[in-house]
Chains A and B, each alone.
Chain A
Amino acid sequence: MAASDAVPVSPATARESDAEARLWRRLTVAWMLIVFALFLVLLLLGLAMRLSQANLLQKLTPEYFYAILTLHGLGMVGTWFVGAMAGVSYQLTRFARPSLGVARFALLGTLLGVVLLIAATLVGRFGTGWYFLHPLPFYSAGVWPQWAVGAFFAGLGVLGVTWTVWTLDLLRALARRYSLGGALAWPTLRGRSGPETPPFVLVTTASLLSGLASFAAAVIVLVLYLAEWLGTDVKNDPLLMKNLIFFFGHGLVNVTMYLGVALVYDLLPPLTGKTLKTNRLVAAAWNLAIGLVLVVYFHHLYMDFIQPRALQYIGQIGSYLISIPAAVISIFTVLYLVYRSPVRWNLTSLFLYFGVMGWAIGGVQAVIDSTIAANFRFHNTLWVPSHFHTYYLLGVVMMILAFASHLGREATGVPDRPGLARLTATLFLLGGYGLVVMFAFGGAHSVPRRYSIYPQELAQGALYARVSLLFITVLVVGILLYLWDTARNCWKAMSA
C-alpha cells in the first residue's frame, strides 16, 4: 500500500440526501446493537463451556455442551460476518449506493435465521458442531429430534439466501460505479494510468466475490443434505460433503476478516493524517487472494487420508501464499500509517491497530497449523481454538468494534475519552490474550478440543480452563467498559 502524507480527501458522497444518510446510519446502528447483544450471549455460552471444562459447571450435560458448542461457533462466525457486512455497507455508501431495502431484508433474514438456529440448538439440542459433518446430523443417538435437524438446515438456508442477496446487492452497487477491472484495480496491476481504485473498494470487492463462492458451496451442501434428509434413496459422499462444508466455513471466516481489513483501510488513515493508495503490489495481492480462498480450505482435510495428496500440498502452499496479501501487506500498511504519525489514539484507532496485530499473530499460528507436519501434532488439539480465537476475537472482532465505536461517535458527536479507551483496550487485550494463551498451552500439551469434561488423563486441560476463567473475567470487564461507552452512543444515535 502506498501512502502519502497529504491531507486525506474524502470521496464524493453517494448518499442522495441527508434523510437517506440518516436511514443508513440508523440501520447500521441497529445492526451494531444486535451484534453487541449476540456477542454477549455467545460470549456467555463460551464461558459456560470453559466452566464445564474446568469442572465448575457439572450441571451442563454433554448434550447441551455440544449444542452450545454448535451455537457458539456458528453464532460467532455469523454475528461478526453480519457486523462486518453492515460496517462495509455503511462505509460503501461513500463510494457507491447499495440498496437500503436489501439491507433491511438482510437484517430481517438474519434475525429469522438466528432464531431458527437458537431453536435447533438450545431447544432441540442439535449438537454436531458448526461443521455439521455428514452424516452426523442424521445420527443423533436420541439427543436431538428430527425437527431440530430441519430447523438447523432451515436456519442455514435462510441465512445463506439472505447473505447471498446482500452480497450480490453490494456488488451491484459497486458495478454501477466501477467495472470489474476497475473495482479490482486491474489498470494499476497492469501499470496503466487511469482512475484510482480506493483500497477499501478493492478489498471489499475481493471479499464479496470470495463470499459469493462460499455461499454457493453452502447452497450445494444444503441441497445435498436436503435430498438425503427427505428420505430419498440417495446418499452423499462424506468426503465431498466435508470438502464443501469447509469450502463454505473457511471461506466465510476468511471473508469476514477481509471485510474487517477493508474497514481498517477506510477508517485508520484519517486518524493518522495519511492517505492510502492502491499500488501494483496491493492490487496483485488482493486479486490473488480471491483465487486462493477457493483452495486453502484443503488444510482442514489433512487428516482425511483419502483426500488426494496433491490437494493436501495445494492446501499447504495456498495457506502460505494467502498470508501475503491478507496479513503481511496489511500489517506493513498499518505500521506505516502509525509510524511517526500524529495518531489520534481513541477507541477506534486502538482497536483497529491491535486488531490487525491480533490478526497477524493468529495468522502465524494458523500458518503453523496449516503446515502438514505440524498439523499432524496440533490437529484437533486446543491449538486450533487458540489460533482462531486470536485472529477472530483479537483480530476481526476488534476491527468491527472499532467501526462501531467510530459510528457511535460520528452519529452523536460525543468526544473521545482517551483514558477510558486505553483502559478498555488494555483489559480487552489482557483478557483476550490470556484466554488464547491458555488454549495454546493446552494445544502444546496435546489437550484435545471439543471435550465437554476432561478425564483424569487430561487433567491439565481442566487446569488451563480454570486459569482461562480469570482472563475471561478480565475480558468481560473490558467488553462491558467498551459497551458502556459505545453501546450508549449507538443507543443515543438510534433514538436521535
Chain B
Amino acid sequence: MGYRPQLLEGDVGLRRRIRRLAAAALLLLASAPGFAAGSPPPRPVEDFYLYRPVSAIHFTDTRGEVHQLSDAWKQRPLLVALVFARCAEICPPFLRSFAEAVRTVGGAGREYDVVVLSFDPRDTASDMAAVAARHGLAGVPGWTFGVTSAAEAGSLARSVGFWIRWDAERELYDHPAMLAAVDRGRVVRLLVGATVPPRRLREVVWELRRDLVSTYPLPSEKVLFRCFGYDPRTGSLTLEWGLLLLLAPGMFTVVCAAWIFRGGRRADLRHDFDPKAVR
C-alpha cells in the first residue's frame, strides 16, 4: 500500500488540479472493476460523489452477525471507512487519527455510527476484531468493524469513489485513506487523507445533523479581505476587516455629500434663482 499525500485544508490549488483530472478519474474508475495495475488513480474527488447513492452491501460484524448497510443508515447517519487488516502503512495511522477525532468530536452511537469494513477477501471477522482491539475500539458504542465479499467491497468502493489496486510486487493493496459520510443512503461528504482533523470531522457531523456549516473553500490562504471569519470549533461567524469595505461606499457618500454641500446653506434662502450667483 502506498502513502497518499494528505489533502491539506485550504490547499485549493491542489484541489483545483485534482478537479482538472476529475474527468480522467471518473473514466478510470468506471473502467477499473478489477482495479488493474497501472498508474495509480488520482485521489477521490468529493464533488463527483456528493448525493450519489451508496451501495447497500451486506457485511458480517466481529460477532458473526450479518447486516445490510442500508439497515444501519436507517438507524443513524454513518461514517464509513474501508481498510484491510494486514495493512502496514496507511490504515493504522488513519484509524488512529479517525478514532481520536471521533473521541474529540463525540456523538458516536447517538448522532451517527461508524462502520469500518475490510475490502480484503482474506480478512476474517476475527482479524477485524483484532484491528478494533488494537485501536481501543472493541465494544465502543457506535463503532462496528466487519468484513464483506470482494464483490460487495468493490461495489461499495465504487459508489463512494474509493479505489483499490493490488500491488503484486509488495503483495499489498494500494488505496487511499478516506471516510465517507452517508445520510439516508447517499454520500454527504468525503474526507480524504491519512489524518482526520477534528475540525473537519466536526463539520461533517454538523452536516449529518443537517446543521448549517458556515464555511466554504477560499481560493488561497492569502485572502486580502474577508467580511466574516469562521470559527471551526464553534461553527460561529465573526466580523472581519472586509466588512469595512461594505461600509466604505456609504461612508464615502456621506463624506462626499458633506464636502460638496459645505457652505450651501445661505443660498437656500433665496426663492428665486440667480444664475450669476451660481458661478
B225 and A179 contacting across the interface, CB-CB below 8 Å: no
Cβ-defined contact, A176 with B268, below 8 A: no
**Residues on the A chain within 8 Å of B226, using CB:** 237, 239-240
Instruction: Render B238-276 as a binary contact track against A, CB cut-off 8 A, 1 for contact.
Output: 000010011011101100111011101101111111110
Contacts of A235 in B (CB 8 A): 218-220, 222-224
Chain B residue total in the interface (Cβ 8 A): 43
Among all A-B residue pairs, the 8 with the closest Cβ atoms: A180-B261, A235-B220, A216-B249, A182-B268, A179-B265, A213-B249, A179-B264, A216-B252
Tell me if B264 and A180 are in contact (CB < 8 A).
Answer: yes
Q: CB-defined interface of B87-121 with A at 8 Å, one 1/0 digit per residue?
A: 00000000000000000000000000000000000
Within 8 A of B (CB), among A229-274: 233-240, 243-244, 247
Q: How far is the CB of A116 from chain B (nearest CB, A)?
A: 24
Tell yes or no: A175 within 8 A of B by CB.
Answer: yes
A12 near B272 with CB under 8 A, answer yes
Q: How many interface residues does chain A have, given as a range?
A: 35 or more
Interface with B: A13-21, A83-91, A351-359, A468-476, which one? A13-21
Q: Which of A11, A212, A224, A243 has the most CB of B within 10 A?
A: A212
Interface assignment of A312: CB less than 8 Å from any CB of chain B? no
- Collect the chain B residues with CB atoms within 8 Å of residue A76's CB: none
The 26 listed contacts between A and B (C-beta, < 8 Å) are: A12-B272, A12-B273, A12-B275, A97-B279, A172-B260, A176-B279, A178-B264, A182-B265, A224-B224, A227-B224, A234-B220, A234-B222, A234-B223, A234-B224, A236-B219, A237-B225, A237-B242, A238-B219, A239-B216, A239-B227, A240-B225, A240-B226, A240-B246, A243-B227, A294-B250, A308-B228
Known: A176-B264, A213-B252, A237-B223. A195 touches B275 (CB 8 A): no
**Contact partner, A11, options B216, B248, B265, B273, Cβ 8 Å:** B273
Contact of A135 among B219, B245, B269, B274 (CB under 8 A): B219
Establish whether residues A195 and B271, one from each chain, have CB atoms under 8 Å apart when the complex forms: yes
In the complex, A173→B264 CA distance in Å?
11
Asked whether B225 lies within 8 Å of A233 as measured between CB atoms, the reply is: no
B140 within 8 A of A: no
Tell me whether A177 and B273 are in contact (CB under 8 A).
Answer: yes
Separation of A209 and B261 alpha carbons in the complex (Å): 12
Say whether A209 contacts B253, CB under 8 Å. Answer: yes
Contact of B257 among A11, A95, A171, A176 (CB under 8 A): A171
Given contact pairs A176-B267, A213-B250, a sample of 7 additional A-B residue pairs in the complex whose CB atoms are under 8 Å apart: A15-B275, A176-B277, A179-B261, A220-B248, A234-B222, A234-B223, A235-B218
Residues of B in contact with A (beta carbons under 8 Å apart): 212, 214-216, 218-220, 222-228, 237, 242, 245-246, 248-250, 252-253, 256-258, 260-262, 264-265, 267-275, 277-279
**Is the CB–CB distance between A305 and B271 below 8 Å?**
no
Please state if A233 and B220 are interface contacts (CB–CB under 8 Å): yes
Assuming A179-B267, A183-B261, A213-B253, is B216 touching A95 (CB within 8 A)?
Answer: no
In the complex, the chain B residue whose C-beta lies closest to that of A12 is B273
Name the B residues within 8 Å of A195 (CB-CB).
Answer: 268-271
A220's contact among B245, B262, B264, B265, by CB below 8 Å, is which? B245
Rounded to whole angstroms, the CA-CA distance of A243 and B222 in the bound complex is: 19
Q: How far is the CA of A172 from the CA of B262 in the complex (A)?
A: 10
CB nearest neighbor in B for A16: B275
Q: Within the complex, what minimum Cβ distance (angstroms) separates B222 from chain A?
A: 5
Residues of B within 8 A of A96 (CB): 273, 278
A178/B268 contact (C-beta < 8 A), A14-B278, A235-B220, A244-B245 known: yes
Q: Which residues of B contact A236 (CB under 8 A)?
A: 219, 223-225
**Is A179 a contact partner of B222 (Cβ separation < 8 A)?**
no
Among residues of A, the one whose C-beta sits closest to the C-beta of B221 is: A235
CA distance A227 to B219 in the complex (A): 14
Cα distance A11–B253 in the bound complex, in angstroms: 28
A168 and B245: CB pair below 8 A? Answer: no
List CB contacts (< 8 Å) of A270-312 with chain B: 294, 305-306, 308
Mark A143-178 against chain B: 1 for CB-CB distance below 8 A, else 0: 000000000000000000000000010011111111
Measured between beta carbons, the chain A residues less than 8 angstroms from B246 are 240, 243-244, 247
Name A304's closest neighbour in chain B (CB-CB). Answer: B216
Known A-B contacts A194-B268, A195-B268; A308 and B278 likewise in contact (beta carbons under 8 Å): no
